[in-house]
Amino acid sequence: MCSAELSPTSILLLSAVTAGFLIQQFANLDIDKYPFPILGTVFSIQWIIALGLQYSGGIYHTFWAAQSIALLTVTVGLISLWANTLIYRAFFHPLNRFPGPYGAKLSKLWVLNKVVQSDLKLYQVADKLQKTYGDYVRTAVTDYGPSIEEFTSKLVERLDRTAGGATLVNEFCTHYAYDVMSSLAFGTSTRFIEGESNGKANIILKTIQKGIVHIAFLAHLPWALSMAETLWFLGGPLKSLREWSGDQVEARRHFESPRPDIIGHLLANTKDDKKGRILLHAEGRLIVGAGSDTTGSALAVLLTFMAYFHDYQEKLHDEVEKTFADKTYVCTQPQTLLDSIINEALRLCPPILFNSQRMAPKGGLRIGDIEIPEGTVCLLGPFTPHHDERNFLQANEFIPERWTSRPELIINKIAFIPFSMGPYMCPGKAVAMMEMRSVIAHLVQRYRIDFPKGANFDIQKYYSDIVDHFTAGIPDQELVFTPRNV
C-alpha cells in the first residue's frame, strides 16, 4: 500500500493554517497599540519564506515563483488566524454569556457600521442596546477665576454689539471656550471673542473640529487610530495641530506669564529633554482640544435651555441679581439654583458622550451577581445611566430641583458622571464649572434670552440631533439677547 507524499505547496499551506491556529491560541497580538510593527512582521515573514524557497533550489527557485507562493502562504495564514479568531469570539470567548448583538461579538466593524448608520449618534444606539439586552451588553483651580471673568467680560462686550439680533450661540460659545483654554494653557489667548484671531488659530480651530469627527470613526478601530497617530508627519490636520501646540509650548517656555497657567506649571515640573517635550506637546493638544469643545458644547446647551425653560431663566436672574448686588458672587463658588441648572443640563446632555474605559483587574471583577473576567475592557458612557429611571426619576425631564429641594428624584447619585469618575476623572472639572457659572450668571443677569421671533423650537428634535464625535456635537441654534435695562 503506497502513501502519497504531500507536495511542497501543500506542506506550506497546511503549515500556514496551523500557524494561524497556534497564533490565535497562544500569542497575544496587541494590534491596537502596535499595528505597524505587526504589519512589518507579516511582510518580513513573507520575504523570509520567499528567500528560503528561492535559495532551496526547488520548484520555487525563481524570484516570482518564490514571492507568489510566499504571498499565498502568508495570506492563508492570515485567513486562518482571522477564521480562528471569529470562531473563538463566537463560541469560546469568556464574555459569551453576556447578551448582545451577534455581530458585535465578532468585530469592532459592527460598532463602526452603527456609527455610520446612526449618523454619529452611537450614544442613542447604546441606550437602545441597554433597553434591549440589559445593563451588561457585550460590544467590543481657583487661581484661574480672574482670567475667566475677564473673558466673560469680553463676551458680554461682543454680545452688546449684536444685542437684539439673532446670534448663533454655538459659535460664540466655542470662541469663548477656546480663548479661555488657550490662555489658561499657554498664557496667551487665541482672541476669537474680540474678532482678532490670526490665521493659524483659525486653522487650528477648524482642524480640531474636523478632527473630532474623524475620531468618531477611528476610535472604534484603535489600530487605525494608532496608525494615524504614527503617520502624523505625512501632513494633514493632525500635523498642523501637533506643530501648533508644540510652538505654543516652546513659546511659553521663553516668557514669564503674570498669571498662573497650566503649561507653566508643567514646564516647571518636567525635564527639558526629548521625552519631556513630547509629553508637554501632547498635554497642550489635550488641554485645548478636550477642554474647549466640551465647555463650548455645555454652554450652548445651557443658553438654549434658558431660552426654552423661561421660568428658570427668571428665577436664576433673581438669584444672580442678588449675589451681584451684595457682591457675594464668585465663579469659584457654587450657587444654589445656578449649579442645579448646570448639573441638570449636564445630566440631560453630557458634553462627552464617548464611553469611558476601564479594565477588569487581576482576578476579575464582581458587580452584583455578574462576574467579569480579568482583562476585560468595560465601557460606560454617561448618556444611558443619566437617562435611566433606576438612577433618576423622571429621567428625561429637566428638573433642577432634583439637586436641591427634591432629592427624592435622585435614586443613585453616583450615576451622575458628566466628568467621568474615579482616579481618571476629568482634571478640568473645576475650570469648566467656573466657566459655566461665569457665562450663565453674567448673561442671565444682563440679558433676557429668547428664541428669534417665529422660531419653532422642538426640544425633542434638539435632543435627537445631538451627534457623538467624542464630544457632543450640539445642533446650531440662534438666540436673541435683549438687554434687561432697556
Binding site, residues? 426
Q: Binding site for heme: what residues are annotated?
A: 426
Kind and range of the H or E run holding 471: strand 471-473
Phi and psi angles of residue 162, each rounded to the nearest 5 degrees, phi first: -115, 15
The CA-based diameter of the chain, rounded to the nearest angstrom, is: 108
Three-class secondary structure of residue 167 per DSSP: strand
Q: With CA atoms as reference, report the closest residue to 357 among 373, 381, 383.
A: 381
Q: With CA atoms as reference, report the closest residue to 471 among 170, 59, 167, 261.
A: 170
* Cell, residue 97: 454569556
**CA 360, 362, 365: angle at the middle one, nearest 5?**
45
End-to-end C-alpha distance for the chain, whole angstroms: 108
Neighbour tally for 74: CB within 10 Å: 19
Three-class secondary structure of residue 273 per DSSP: coil
- List Cα–Cα distances, 363 to 135, 356, 360, 372, 374, in angstroms: 22, 21, 8, 9, 6
Separation CA 350–CA 419 (nearest Å): 9
Those residues whose C-beta lies under 8 Å from the C-beta of residue 415, and which sit 6 or more positions away, are 385, 386, 388, 391, 392
- List Cα–Cα distances, 264 to 144, 322, 382, in angstroms: 13, 37, 32
Those residues whose C-beta lies under 8 Å from the C-beta of residue 192, and which sit 6 or more positions away, are 174, 175, 176, 178, 179, 201, 205
Q: Quick one: angle between helices 109-117 and 122-133, nearest 10?
A: 110
Give the chain's length.
486
Residue with cell 478640568: 428
- Contact indicator for 126, 235 with CB cutoff of 8 Å: no
Q: Quick one: angle between helices 274-308 and 237-253, nearest 10?
A: 110
- List Cα–Cα distances, 418 to 31, 215, 350, 413, in angstroms: 31, 20, 5, 12
- List Cα–Cα distances, 250 to 183, 267, 287, 289, in angstroms: 15, 10, 16, 18
Separation CA 265–CA 277 (nearest Å): 14
Phi and psi angles of residue 389, each rounded to the nearest 5 degrees, phi first: -65, -20
- Contact indicator for 285, 241 with CB cutoff of 8 Å: yes
